[in-house]
């Protein structure tokens, strides 16, 4: 991994009560050695594998102002991190569920792009067996379960002021607005909505298939082609590019996917990240509500599964054996 750390430091936030949080400040940056590099590599690994949202700074963001001052050389990285973690403490204090932890600030370069990463990591306790086979208690940073991480693409932030995606952050756990205080601290809001972009793409593909009058099998082939392209982009760490995707789709005498999308109100960017969950709609039908959850491959519709629109009824032929077994046991 060609990751070059420029500056890195960590501080601690320790919750004392529902309204009181202590700040423990480090007074010097960390030395850049292999353990430090491994730490940032691990945080990036976890971060890249989790669902993220995309954002941008508010006009009056104190955090953005601090980053500007640092980049201009008006304050050093140490002072920036110390003042910034105090601001984070003030936001954390508003949320009793927020536990604090070790706060990592890191400026680094990866593939010629400069990033600023901020992560709040919990400390976990475990057991360690030493060389005398004695059991001792130890502590470690719980990186794998981190859910409070943000990363600013400094290069894009400086070169493209109209960008709505130079800031990325983890969405947090459902039911707990973990990212709320983090966004308030950053002075940022959501920008590019990757999930909506992917939803609009799925809708545009279906509408296009209807527009050029593809039959059922042709539409199925197009859906699989789009899914294959997007999956390939995701696995390669790349984004969906409409111009490249359009080249793989069929055309009619007077229409192609590029012109079709341009002439409609799908609000699709030329490039946007892949949202794996949304793109499953190209391969599956699913839904839940009222105690019922249904999920099946789109290939089965019209074959083993039929939908009666008039009665809003699904007829399923050939139930899964384990479901049939449960029904039979319940019927006795």
Report the mean per-residue pLDDT for the chain: 86
Residue 18: pLDDT over 80: no
pTM score, two decimals? 0.75
Residue 178: pLDDT over 80: no
Residue 177: pLDDT over 70: no
From CA 314, how far away is CA 301, in angstroms rounded? Answer: 10
From CA 171, how far away is CA 182, in angstroms rounded? Answer: 10
| Number of C-beta neighbours around residue 162 at 10 A | 5
From CA 180, how far away is CA 192, in angstroms rounded? Answer: 17
pLDDT (mean) for 235-246 = 87
């Amino acid at each position: 991994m060609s990751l070059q750390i420029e500056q890195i430091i960590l501080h601690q936030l320790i919750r004392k009560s529902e309204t009181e949080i202590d700040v423990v400040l480090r007074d010097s940056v960390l030395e850049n050695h292999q353990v430090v590099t491994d730490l940032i590599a691990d945080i990036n690994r976890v971060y890249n594998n989790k669902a993220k949202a995309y954002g941008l700074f508010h006009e009056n963001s104190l955090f953005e102002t601090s980053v500007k001052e640092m980049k201009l050389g008006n304050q050093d990285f140490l002072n920036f991190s110390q003042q910034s973690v105090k601001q984070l403490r003030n936001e954390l204090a508003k949320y009793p569920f927020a536990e604090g932890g070790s706060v990592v600030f890191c400026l680094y370069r990866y593939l010629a792009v400069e990033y600023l990463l901020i992560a709040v990591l919990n400390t976990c306790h475990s057991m360690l067996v030493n060389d005398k086979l004695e059991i001792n208690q130890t502590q470690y940073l719980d990186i794998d379960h981190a859910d409070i991480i943000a990363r600013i693409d400094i290069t894009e932030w400086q070169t493209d002021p109209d960008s709505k995606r130079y800031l990325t952050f983890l969405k947090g756990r459902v039911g707990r607005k973990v990212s709320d205080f983090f966004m308030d601290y950053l002075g940022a809001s959501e920008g590019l909505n990757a999930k909506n972009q992917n939803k609009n793409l799925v809708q545009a593909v279906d509408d296009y298939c209807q527009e050029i009058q593809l039959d059922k099998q042709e539409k199925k082939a197009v859906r699989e082609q789009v899914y294959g392209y997007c999956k390939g982009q995701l696995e390669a760490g790349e984004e969906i590019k409409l111009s490249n995707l359009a080249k793989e789709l069929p055309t009619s005498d007077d229409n192609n996917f590029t012109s079709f999308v341009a002439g409609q109100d799908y609000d699709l960017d030329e490039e946007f990240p892949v949202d794996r969950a949304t793109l499953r709609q190209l391969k599956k039908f699913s839904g839940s509500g009222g105690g019922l959850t249904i999920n099946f491959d789109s290939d089965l519709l019209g074959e083993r599964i039929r939908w009666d629109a008039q009665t809003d009824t699904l007829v399923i032929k050939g139930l899964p054996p384990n479901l049939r077994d449960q029904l039979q046991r319940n019927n006795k």
